Structure 1
Amino acid sequence: MSIGEHLHGWGGLPTYPFPDPEKDAEAQETAVRLLPAADGVAWRIGVDSYDAAETWPEAFARFLDTVDAARVRSIVVGSWADAYDNRPDDVIDAIVAARAQLPALRALFVGDIVGEECEISWINQGEVTRLLDAFPLLEEFGARGGEQLEFPAVRHAHLRKLKVQAGGLPVAVVRGIAASDLPALHDLELWLGTSEYGGDADVDDLAPILSGDQLPSLKRLALRNSEIQDAVCAAIASAPVVARLEVLDLSMGVLTDDGAAALLGGQPLTHLKSLDLHYNYVSKEIGARLADTLTPAGVELNLDTDDAESDEDDDGSVWRFVAVGE
């Protein structure tokens, strides 16, 4: 998923931007008349990042007054004012307060914000698990931005998909997700990021996830965008959860021959439908060994190295970078 453009869909529905307020009453009436069915799209609600004409809660109140809220299935929270300075506490408060008006809500994403609005590692977040508590029937949840993100351990019986994107994911968040009881979770995606942007978790913090004890339904695991990708691969090589996966995604990070060799020397991966390692620093030789091992078994393997960036110092030291940092 690119963060250079807004989400195209969420919760199995295409995104549709809820219109800004029109100064002209006739134009506003026309915009409302042309709105799609309330349950036919993922409604993207956002305000200008700079000098917004209204607050996010005000835009959300207009939304609730305009659409048939009882039928809304998916909401994508776009930018709130000055996301680089402000936590979205009032955003979360507004959505939680409207829970009785949104009985059909099954998918929610907080922070569909692109670079020109606010760089991913500058996005301030909040205690997003309040939304999971408020919507016990939610099936998909996502958040972008790791600054001030809070995710204490929760139990949620219906959540099937959890995606958290960050240039650096705080260790407390990783531990909170790892300690959560999510029996229906089918798809878990974490962008671990770099220590430079607050990503201070290590492989030990992932142990509850890799054991799979509280994730009996997991079919897709994505541990992406990590500067410790080699260590993650070494842990994956013997992780119990892998045997039940269909899709394994270890892309966008600093993956070298060491990590790829650990995958080759670990438990068989031939049962997978796909293994995504795109954006990597793996040599052609090791890449060919992976392909020779997995492709004949029908595993879709992505080893695309396009866009992987590195720098070399005058002393010969090589600096490698994750796909998404700042």
Structure 2
Amino acid sequence: MSRMHASQVNSRNAASVPSTAHLMRWVIMATLPGIATMSYFFGLGVVSNVVLAGIFGLGLEAAVLRLRKRPIRVTLNDSSALLTGVLLGCSLPPASPWWLIGVGMIAAITVAKQLYGGLGHNPFNPAMVGYALLLVSFPTYMTLWAPPQEFIPSHLWAQIAGTLPTAQLDGLSGATPLDAFKHKGEAVLASEFWATDPLPNDTLRAWRWVALAWLAGGVLLLVKRIISWHIPAALLGSLVVLATLFYLSDPSHYASPLFHLLTGATLFGAFFIATDPVSAATSRRGKLIYGAGIGALIMIIRTAGGYPDAVAFAVLLMNLCVPLLDMYSVPRPTGQQRTSPGKPGEQP
């Protein structure tokens, strides 16, 4: 539970709130199906991303806490820095250079989390701040998604070390399904695009299996009540509605709703990113509006913007709206009169 919203939890039910470490570790466990499936299709570089990001996260958190003269072991034991590393590592192209991961984690842990006061005070999702910074600053490296490959490719260690020339990296990478469809050209019909077999072998099947693995992890979080259904359902619902409207209006130029669901980071974002308990809305109504806004923004950016996936930007934009959503969507306590919007009611 975020300290930002601690005032909304009364002393009677505060004891029933699971510990932060418990929540974070369950989320990390729920990422294992997605990490395993990505590793199966895209190789050991997925694991190297997660391991390096986790090490950077713990090290940076400890360094900043030392500078702030705060207890280190207690804070590291909550596993929030480790979870941020896992989420950012899963978001990056497999076998990203160590320095790229380091820059992303500096933005996530030092800037987006600790400079705001640490866990519970950060208004933005730290992992998505790191991802967005890298995407804007290093677009070449952030678009080098490899097609399905062997588990340990020959170029793996040079790629992680950052010694592989960019020209060679370009030759080893392939477009993601979202990226390929977005840049197919206005004159090319969807049927013509797919008829040309535009993706490397097995790419579309790999992304679909990865999406289903994230869904399996998300279902685990729902079953364990680590997250509630409101944000994922609202996000996926609004995305499917908009995708369906676009597709029905012109199926020759817009992708199907299923394509948007099972490629890219849609399901990963719905269950693991948008549900961050610190930066997301807290009331049930607020969560529904928050999730629906993310889903709508994803489709708008994918359709009219310059980025084919857009989950990170949609989440960060809705993070900006959370204080307003919490102010206007927190239900009026029983027995209190309704006053002006955003102000607590008064006892009659």
Q: TM-score scaled to structure 1, two decimals? A: 0.26
Q: Which has the higher contact order (CA 8 A, sep 6+)?
A: 2
Higher strand share: 1
Write 1 or 2 for the structure with the bigger share of helix: 2
TM-score by length of 2: 0.25
